[in-house]
Amino acid sequence: PLTLPLPLPLPLPLPLPLPRSIACQLFKRRGCRVVGLCGSAEKAAWLVGAGIVDRAIDYKGRDLARELAEERAEIYWDNAGK
């Protein structure tokens, strides 16, 4: 099992293999604003409603380039396909 000290030190030691929703929650606990990408409007609503992310973007139903241009990212986390 993976154990991490809380609060998390920044910058994080990488690579850090975590399931996506856990990674989002850990970053939120550290005070980060978390923006997640997902494949449906329903999942986007669930992610925000469950408090897992602050904002969710449906990459299939929106202009992703325009949506991401509105965000300023200091940390980029990619777990797609894992």
Q: Which of 59, 55, 32, 35 is nearest to 45 (CA)?
A: 55
pTM here is 0.66
pLDDT tens digits for range 4-32 = 555 655 665 555 555 667 788 888 888 88
pLDDT tens digits for range 60-74 = 877 878 887 887 777
Phi then psi for residue 35, to 5 deg, are -115, 125
For residue 1, pLDDT over 50 is answered with no
At 2, is the pLDDT very low, low, confident or very high (cuts 50, 70, 90)? very low
Bridge partner list, 36: 56
Within the chain, residue ranges assigned H as helices are 20-29, 41-49, 64-69
